[in-house]
Amino acid sequence: MSTPALETHDLSVSYRGKPVLHGVDIEIPYGSLTGIMGPNGAGKSTLLKAIMGVVEPDNGWVKLLDKPLKQVLGRIGYVPQRESVDWDFPVTVFDVALMGTYAGLGWFGRPGKRHRARAMEALEQTGMADLAKRQIGELSGGQQQRTFLARALAQDAEIYLMDEPFAGVDAATERTIVHLLGRMRDTGKTVIVVHHDLQTAQRYFDRLLLLNMRVVAHGPTEEVFRPDVLETTYGGKLTLLSDIAARSARGEGGRKQ
């Protein structure tokens, strides 16, 4: 079997001292479009953060493109959750798209004509070219998401991590995003998307990773998208798992000697 594009092994992560993910093993093949799904607090965003190295895992490891993250920087793309962006920041739509071309420019390098053309082309693909000069706070939710998608396209990465790109967007944008994600997958990119909407999951993704503090199910959509699996994923937290983990993290309330 060929090596997966993304592999995690026994990954356990705490967030602010609270264990969120337990022993996550995943293998995501190259050229696939994967949706990460699960209820609120299931650890979806935390998993993404652990993969990106933003939070340190308590245990286990992550390999991207068969290497640790440090060796593949620049080849991993990222679309942040909308709430985590400072929309008042003084940058234009074009500036954001241009950031996608910064990999390999170094500290003092300046983007040239080629980079600008790449950014503009990406904006055209997401239908944002006309708004290139707008400050990002002056956009609608859908336009904001398209802007960051353009940055991802301009980057031409190999693996893309996207945190809820469908949250709060209009129907037209949703179609555009689905179309673009499909095209990225078809050109061999590996796309991993945190997604919220069960209604659309089956149509949008090749593979699903159902998460609720641990991996409930992981595989091709038609195998995983089953009532019993969804029931396990969404049927409430594993109270005992989170309870014991939290107590051990706090280091209190243990058995009396």
Residues that bind other proteins (CB under 8 A): 16, 52-54, 73-74, 76-78, 80, 85-86, 89-92, 95, 99, 102-103, 105, 107-111, 135, 151, 155
* 84 three-class SS: helix
Q: Which is nearer to other proteins, 45 or 125 (CB)?
A: 45
> DSSP character for 16?
T
* Contacts for 186 with CB less than 8 Å, ≥ 6 apart: 31
* Contacts for 194 with CB less than 8 Å, ≥ 6 apart: 35, 36, 37, 44, 45, 48, 81, 162, 163, 164
CB of 157 to other proteins, least distance (A): 8
Q: Which is nearer to other proteins, 126 or 233 (CB)?
A: 126
Q: Which is nearer to other proteins, 23 or 111 (CB)?
A: 111
* Contacts for 110 with CB less than 8 Å, ≥ 6 apart: none
CB of 92 to other proteins, least distance (A): 7
CB of 230 to other proteins, least distance (A): 30
CB of 108 to other proteins, least distance (A): 5
Residues 145, 170 contacting (CB under 8 angstroms): no
CB of 137 to other proteins, least distance (A): 8
| Amino acid (one-letter) located at 128 | M
Q: Which is nearer to other proteins, 107 or 228 (CB)?
A: 107
Q: Which is nearer to other proteins, 45 or 212 (CB)?
A: 45
